[in-house]
Amino acid sequence: MAHGTLVRLGAVLVCVAIVVAAIGFASTTVRAAKATLNVYTAVEADDLKKYAARFNEDHPDIEIKWVRDSTGVITAKLLAEKANPQADVIWGLAATSLLVLKPDGMLVPYAPKGLERLDTQFRDKDNPPAWVGMDAWVAALCFNTVEAQKKNLPKPASWKDLIKPVYKGTIVMPNPASSGTGFLDVTSWLQLFGEAEGWKYMDALHQNIGVYTHSGSKPCTMAGAGEYPIGVSFEFRAARQKRQGAPIDIVFPSEGSGWDMEATAIVKGTKNLESARTLLDWSVSDKAMKLYNEGYAVVAISKMSKPIEFLPDNMLQHMIKNDFQWAAVNRAKILTEWEKRYGAKSEPKK
Amino acid sequence: MRAFIGVIGLYLVVALALPLGLMLGKSLQGSRDEFVGLANYIRYFSTPALFQSIGNSLWIAILSTAITVPAAFAYAYALTRTRMPLRGLFKTTALVPILVPSLLPGLALVYLFGNQGLIKGLLLGHGIYGPIGIVMAEAFTTFPHALLIILAALALADARLYEAAVALRASPARIFWTVTLPGARYGLISATFVVFTTVITDFGAPKVIGGQYNVLATDVYKQVIGQQNFQMGAVVSVILLIPAILAFVVDRAVRRRQVALLSARAVPYEPTPTRGLDLAMLAYCTVIGMAILSIVAVSQFAALVKFFPYNLTLTWAHYDFDTKGGGGWASYSNSIRLALLTGAVGTVIVFAGAYLVEKARGFALGRALFHFLAMLPMAVPGLVLGLAYIFFFNAPANPLNVLYRTMTILVVNTVVHFYTVGHLTALTALRQMDPEFETVSASLKQPFYRTFWRVTVPVCLPSTLDIAIYMFVNAMTTVSGVVFIYGPTTELASISVLNMDDTGEIASAAAMAMMIFYTNVAARGLHLILARWLEHRTQAWRRR
């Protein structure tokens, strides 16, 4: 009897273990006949099916398995997996993130076919390049017209406008220590105004900030929902908010905007180097550029860029001359300074 | 017996201690994995922007605990010690917060109290972004956690104590202070530490609604996700572990004085109707219940309107998840699979583990160590645990690396992440059983597993079911623990909530969060039916 109970108890445990193992392995052992690429990306989640489908029109024999998350999470994941990389290709991650991965020797340099057609600023400087660009996203202001009218706020036209006292407590921007978009804002001001003037500008801007967010999209979403009238965000999110019905104007400050690009690279350690190269070749093709252009106003072959709804035609001229290398090298220093100035006195404004 | 402790102990070592040790070791390393001693700690404590978060975190945690634990105790008291009507309904309502993803209270509080909030006037001009918002969200989230533990402590009481007190003409107030409260003392202390450490480690609420109010958990996020500085992230994680270690020490000290309330001769207590008290408690529970439900209701509302606050016409468009990304409906079914597995596997492991800690004899050091490991997950932020899993399970030298990016690893991670509350629930239930049961069966020469199977499991069955449902719903809602380790075929609904919120599809995020909620409600309904049937079958001894 006692023995029977023990057996039953043991049997339950074994069953449970088998079920878990079976389900676990079921999801790993399914192997299709065609080549599979694990592709890490920060591209908008709803665009992924479209990206894979377009690629498969030309290369039906390569299946893409996406791992998609925000820029920060994907970058952290890639770095943490360094000892045993799981990704074959990175397709659609910020160039500033790839600049972090490159010195660690995590990328396989490769010159995709047609590389020479890309604008020089849209590729890694080395030959062959460690990564190649896809498209740019550009800093922009989301300005809520409904709330502005209620509060009698004039529409800002420049970065310098934002430090006027009238905007006190009305601006949201991403925290550069949490968000790549926040960091590109800060580095753009330091490049535009010079280091000393740039920090002085941020000191003044800090007085007008209602709240700092942890995500680069959030400020525009919040502006769209009227939580705060002005969001420092980027053009892609702004256009999308507007399409969804947010009562916002999209402002490109007259001094020019900071920007970053989405880029593609092969991850060192891939067992599918041939397929990975095929994907990279395709990622700079005309067809791919047209695909990127459906969401982004400026693509890596800039003369192919077609205007996007709600965005100006001359986007390229709004983009500052951005020194990514300088920003990457000085990142820790800039963030420490930023945190020292604005992070520590982070009491919420009444 | 030792073998059993060994097996379950091994699970905690492999799934918790080793990955965590590896991760925390990073706090002593430089960016090229070289050993740098305490350099990172020195940098931490010489950077005001970093160490000031300690004070902020403590303040938030103390405030949330001071609000939540007494509130949960009063609520639990109403449910167990009065004849207030609708007790079943109120218990269900109070558990609603554990049925929703942790991002939802943050989203909902913005809809309620944000600058466009429906009832922002209630804040008297204060902003919701910051400590106020964090504390409100944390009180909402932790309330049921505290309630479950206190309920377990109040569920069993010896009627003879109350009869004696009444016979001695003690006033109801005196009975409360001298019988009820001391009886629940252990549950209250456990609840305090659970709430405190949950708040300290939670990053969901501060991220969504904390504005720039820095706390330790968002610092981990900033270091790891924002700056990919794993070393500094590890330093902050080590500092976050301190409350857990304190909790463990205090817990040990208190436990030494804990006496079993339900002796083998005990008579179950059943409260008698008291009109005034019952009505007062009804009013109190209604207020709490309404507050909880309004958070959920406003989320559902937000998920159905076109564009809050400017276009309030109703639409189903936000439910079209396959066009919003974040894994679409497939992620939803993955989540259900994860939740079922976690509920089944987790309950067996947790309950068996708690039994061995509490009832086994000898091998004291092993049991103490086991108990420590069981208390630890509460204090480990999910992000840290998830990241630790990458380092440990993805290491080329680890034979377990075949598990990486499978459903199995998600289950292992989720069971560990939510181990502590299950463990405490099981312990609280087990502690109320007189050790005489074991002594008697030992003297009858019965093996321990027989007592376990014949006496312990049936007596504790309601608590066991509570653990199973707790594991299920947390597996549905968890984000931070799994965000690093899901793979291309194992996207989860809760992660898609996070991603949709991040990209501004807030209404869709709310819609998916509500799908998770309804799933958990259904699971909870099944649980209630099952519990009632089991109670009928096995708990007849509780009635006279």
**Chain B nearest C-alpha distance from A22 (Å):** 9
**Residue B489 to residue B61: CA distance in whole angstroms:** 37
C-beta neighbour count of A112 within 10 angstroms? 21
CA triplet A235, A186, A156: central angle to 5 degrees?
A: 55
Best B116, B128, B225 residue to mutate vs chain A (most A CBs within 10 Å): B225
Where do the domains of chain A lie, and which CATH numbers do they carry? 35-136+260-312 (3.40.190.10), 137-258+328-343 (3.40.190.10)
For residue A183, the chain B residue with the least C-alpha distance is: B226
Contact A214 B403 (CB under 8 A): no
- Nearest Cβ partner of B348 from A13, A84, A339? A13
CB A247 within 8 A of CB B310: yes
Best A178, A242, A271, A347 residue to mutate vs chain B (most B CBs within 10 Å): A178
**Residue B400 to residue B394: CA distance in whole angstroms:** 8
Q: What DSSP string runs through B446-475? A: --HHHHIIIIIHHHHHHHHHHHHHHHHHHH
CA torsion A21-A22-A23-A25 (nearest 10°) is: 80
Average pLDDT over residues A98-122: 94
- Nearest Cβ partner of B408 from A20, A225, A344? A20
DSSP collapsed to 3 states, chain A: CHHHHHHHHHHHHHHHHHHHHHHHHHHHHCCCCCEEEEEEECCCHHHHHHHHHHHHHHCCCEEEEEEECCHHHHHHHHHHCCCCCCCCEEEEEEHHHHHHHHHHCCEECCCCCCHHHCCHHHECCCCCCCCEEEEEEEEEEEEEHHHHHHHCCCCCCCCHHHHCHHHCCCEEEECCCCCHHHHHHHHHHHHHHCHHHHHHHHHHHHHHEEEEECCCCHHHHHHHCCCCCEEEEEHHHHHHHHHHCCCEEEECCCCCECEEEEEEEEECCCCCHHHHHHHHHHHCCHHHHHHHHCCCCEECCHHHCCCCCCCCCCHHHHECCCCHHHHHHCHHHHHHHHHHHHHCCCCCCC
Phi, psi of A63 (to 5 degrees): -95, 135
A42, A135, B100 from A37: Cα distances, Å: 16, 22, 35
pLDDT at position A349 over 50: no
pLDDT of residue A14: 53
Best B341, B390, B480, B484 residue to mutate vs chain A (most A CBs within 10 Å): B390
Contact A339 B483 (CB under 8 A): no
* Chain B partners within 8 Å of A333 (Cβ): none
Contact B308 A347 (CB under 8 A): no
pLDDT of residue A350: 35
* Chain A partners within 8 Å of B344 (Cβ): 16, 19
* Chain B partners within 8 Å of A73 (Cβ): 225, 483-484
CB B370 within 8 A of CB B4: no
The helix or strand, by DSSP H or E, that contains position B416, with its residue range, turns out to be: helix B407-417
Paired tokens of A217: 């999209």
Contact A225 B309 (CB under 8 A): yes
- Nearest Cβ partner of B407 from A27, A217, A245? A27
- What is the pTM assigned to this prediction? 0.83
DSSP collapsed to 3 states, B222-287: HHHHHCCCHHHHHHHHHHHHHHHHHHHHHHHHHHHCCCCCECCCCCECCCCCCHHHHHHHHHHHHH
- Nearest Cβ partner of B504 from A23, A177, A241? A241
List, for chain B, all residue ranges whose pLDDT scores fall below the cut of 70.
1-2, 244, 248, 251, 255, 258-264, 325-327, 539-544
Residue B236's nearest CA partner among A182, A177, A210, A74 is A177
**Residue B521 to residue A121: CA distance in whole angstroms:** 53
CB B352 within 8 A of CB B8: yes
Residue type, B377: P
In A256-315, the residues whose Cβ lies within 8 Å of chain B are none
pLDDT at position A181 over 80: yes
pLDDT at position A6 over 80: no
**Residue A56 to residue B486: CA distance in whole angstroms:** 24
The helix or strand, by DSSP H or E, that contains position B494, with its residue range, turns out to be: helix B493-502
Each as own residue / partner, the long-range contacts of residues B312-316 (CB below 8 Å, 24 or more positions apart, any chain) are none
pLDDT of residue A178: 86
User: Which residues fall within 8 angstroms of residue B392, CB to CB, at 6 or more apart?
Assistant: B18, B19, B22, B23, B398
**Chain segment B50-72, per-residue pLDDT in tens:** 888 999 999 999 999 999 999 99
> Any idea where the domains of chain B sit in the sequence?
2-542
pLDDT of residue B544: 59
Residue with tokens 């069955």: B461
**Chain B contact present for A65, CB below 8 A:** yes
ipTM of predicted assembly, 2 dp: 0.81
Best A46, A170, A183 residue to mutate vs chain B (most B CBs within 10 Å): A46
**Residue B194 to residue B202: CA distance in whole angstroms:** 12
Contact B213 A80 (CB under 8 A): no
Contact B453 A9 (CB under 8 A): yes
**Residue B51 to residue B54: CA distance in whole angstroms:** 6
Query: Looking at the DSSP assignment, which residues form a beta bridge with residue A89?
Result: A39, A266
A230, B251, B428, B467 from B463: Cα distances, Å: 51, 20, 9, 6
* Chain A partners within 8 Å of B500 (Cβ): 45
C-beta neighbour count of B354 within 10 angstroms? 28
Residue A288's nearest CA partner among A42, A94, A92, A79 is A92
Residue type, A103: P
**What DSSP state is assigned to residue B403?**
G
Average pLDDT over residues A211-231: 92
Average pLDDT over residues A308-327: 91
**Chain B nearest C-alpha distance from A350 (Å):** 6
The helix or strand, by DSSP H or E, that contains position B306, with its residue range, turns out to be: strand B305-307
* Chain B partners within 8 Å of A349 (Cβ): 127
Q: Are strands B311-314 and B305-307 parallel, antiparallel or unpaired?
A: antiparallel
Phi, psi of B51 (to 5 degrees): -75, -15
**Chain segment A270-289, per-residue pLDDT in tens:** 999 999 999 999 999 999 99
**Chain B nearest C-alpha distance from A52 (Å):** 13
CB pairs under 8 A between A and B: 209
User: What is the topology classification, in CATH, of domain B2-542?
Assistant: MetI-like fold (1.10.3720)
B46 three-state secondary structure: coil
Residue type, B533: W
Question: What's the number of CA atoms in the CB half-sphere (13 Å) around residue B437?
Answer: 25
**Chain B nearest C-alpha distance from A274 (Å):** 21
Residue type, A208: N
* Chain B partners within 8 Å of A241 (Cβ): 504
* Chain B partners within 8 Å of A65 (Cβ): 488-489
C-beta neighbour count of B445 within 10 angstroms? 6
User: Which residues fall within 8 angstroms of residue B487, CB to CB, at 6 or more apart?
Assistant: A27, A67, A86, B404, B405, B406
**What DSSP state is assigned to residue B168?**
T
* Chain B partners within 8 Å of A339 (Cβ): 47, 49-50
Q: What is the mean pLDDT of chain A?
A: 88
**What DSSP state is assigned to residue B180?**
I
**Residue B121 to residue B126: CA distance in whole angstroms:** 9
Cα end-to-end span (Å), chain B? 36
Alpha carbon A174 to its chain's center: 13
C-beta neighbour count of B427 within 10 angstroms? 26
For residue B320, the chain A residue with the least C-alpha distance is: A46
Burial A307-341 (b: 16+ CB within 10 A, else e): ebebbeeebeebbbebebeebbeebeebbbbbbee
